[in-house]
Amino acid sequence: AGNPPHGGVLKDLLARDDAISDTLREEAETLPDIVLTERQLCDLELLTNGGFSPLEGFMNEADYTSVVDTLHLANGVLFPMPITLDVSQKSIDTLAIKPGARIALRDPRDDEPLAILTVEDVYKPDQVKEAVQVFGADDPAHPAVAYLRKSIHEFYVGGTLQAIQAPTHFDYVALRYTPAELRSHFKKLAWRKVVAFQTRNPMHRAHRELTVRAARQRHANVLIHPVVGLTKPGDVDAFTRVRVYQSIMEKYPNGMGHLALLPLAMRMAGPREAVWHAIIRKNFGATHFIVGRDHAGPGKNSQGKDFYGPYDAQELVTKYHDELQIEMVPFQQMSYIPATDEYQPADEIPQGVQTLDISGTELRRRLKTGAPIPDWFSYDAVVKTLRESYPPRNKQGFVLFLTGLYNSGKDTIAKALQVTLNEQGGRSVTLLLGETVRQELSAELGFSREDRHTNTQRIAFVAAELTRAGAGVIAAPIAPHEESREAARETVLASGGAGGNFFLIHVATPLEHCERRDRKGIYAKARRGEIKGFTGVDDPYEVPKKADLTVDTTTQSIPQIVHSIVLLLETNGLL
């Protein structure tokens, strides 16, 4: 059922090798192995289930060179994207990778053997040429070029695969289909024409209108076939997107559409990628494929210009129409026409008709501020899902990192702040006083530079996790070292969730004052040499260069200081 696969035969290696999979699995235990990267894992899944038909393995040098130069395999079949297995010189040596060798390929998540590769050749590709030919320029502003430079090893191994098992997934298992499964689904529903829609973004009303329009024009059904492998860095995460797709499916006329997830690692290669996507959809049984504006576009290059023209992808797919044997459904951008409450493609809207659009940037702004997102743009269920994953700033977590000398008043400020924030409500507030952390997390640590760094990083780790869950965190260690404080900031920012909500507050009460008001006599002990390496006495305190706020208990009252910190949060939209 469905459109014949690319090259004529579905290379479903899992089905082909099913009968010998136990033998292969046993053999794998005796073989040298390569633990795949996330991207290689995505490629392997589609190589073994037939999504990349007619490929039966990772490309050898002849195919690779031919694909890079001509968009065709050495045997002349159209295939625009190099699918390669990269290895280091070290792996080649230690695993004895050479023609004829058999290597087990393992899932990086659970170490399970997925396939055995029989090595055909090992070659050193010209990666600069690959960047220029495949992605358009050797410019690291292109995510795939950056990946090529940073994460790809210098040798490629070509060879055919025998499949042991498909990678195990735990998310949205029911929505994942192999080409064979999707083909039998189409057969069961008696779908003769299927328009496939590729996406890596949340879907809104425009996408629903576009796909329904495509189906209507071609008398076809719709396959929503979003990528859940690897997309462009910074994209909305796949969990959120799949929830969005699930709710948008309910907006299709009954029986018109079907949702299936594709574990593809995108390359953002624009025109070449569009041809590749079309081949993949053909392998999954689709008869039609939608190519919109700027298909699989990587954004701007390092000169601030688009890598590809907005309709380059449509042109290249058109050029290879005869070889592709899947019908392209080209679309221009869809705009909303308020007068008639409908969506129309840009090229069909008469001059002078008023239209409305909300750009991706504007949508992100509205999510951030909690500003309304109108009905004409999206559906309530979609907006609700996005708002859960991207809460407005007043629902996001934050970290107030107070640093200062012992007895500078930072603990008093921290406690007063906690009370003030609790009074406000809306968030759970965690207090990480130096003393508490030393007792609960860092009991075995001393006060060497290294131990203080470790202590600060533990605070950062806990703060990052809590912030990600929407909490307010007030930390108040001495944290005397600039490097450690900046590393803490990085840890919190890298954790995602909290969009940059880390504030370094220097409690700059002068040492003399901290010492004079020291009722416990700790400084006196340090002066007498009973405590060694005490901050401010015989150990340095590095004054923060990048404090977001500096306060001083000798010139400001505690309520004044608390108020200034509350204002800092308010100014940043967090209250």
Look at residues 35, 19, 31, 64 and name the one whose alpha carbon lies nearest to residue 159. 64
CB of residue 40 to ligand PPS, shortest distance in Å: 42
What tokens were used for 255?
A: 């029986």
* Contact indicator for 222, 215 with CB cutoff of 8 Å: yes
* Contact indicator for 29, 20 with CB cutoff of 8 Å: no
Rounded to the nearest 10°, the torsion over CA 41, 45, 51, 55 is: 70
> What residues make contact with ligand PPS under the rule CB under 6 A?
406, 434-435, 438, 447, 452, 455-456, 477-480, 522, 531, 533-535, 539
What tokens were used for 149?
A: 């430079």
Q: How far, in Å, CA of 365 to CA of 362, rounded? A: 5
Strands 33-35 and 113-123: unpaired
For 122-168, give the DSSP string: EE---HHHHIIIIISSS-TTSHHHHHHHHH--SEEEEEEEEE--PPP
Q: How far, in Å, CA of 137 to CA of 142, rounded? A: 8
CB of residue 489 to ligand PPS, shortest distance in Å: 15
DSSP classification of residue 45: H
- Residue number with the shortest CB distance to ligand PPS? 434
Q: Is 325 left (phi over 0), alpha (psi -120 to 50) or beta?
A: left
What tokens were used for 555?
A: 């010139």
DSSP classification of residue 78: B
**Residue 514 corresponds to which amino acid?**
C
Rounded to whole angstroms, the maximal C-alpha distance in the chain is 90
Q: How far, in Å, CA of 357 to CA of 360, rounded? A: 10
Element (H, E) at 397: none
CA dist 275 → 25, 268, 352, 392 (Å): 35, 12, 35, 38
Q: How far, in Å, CA of 390 to CA of 396, rounded? A: 9
Q: How far, in Å, CA of 279 to CA of 144, rounded? A: 20
Element (H, E) at 387: helix 380-389
For 453-482, give the DSSP string: HHHHHHHHHHHHHHHHTT-EEEEE-----H
Look at residues 120, 107, 160, 117 and name the one whose alpha carbon lies nearest to residue 31. 117
Angle of helix 238-249 relative to helix 380-389, nearest 10 degrees, comes to: 170
Name the residues annotated as catalytic: 199-201
Contacts (Cβ under 8 Å, ≥6 apart) of 175: 242, 259, 260, 261
CB of residue 457 to ligand PPS, shortest distance in Å: 10
Q: How far, in Å, CA of 86 to CA of 103, rounded? A: 13
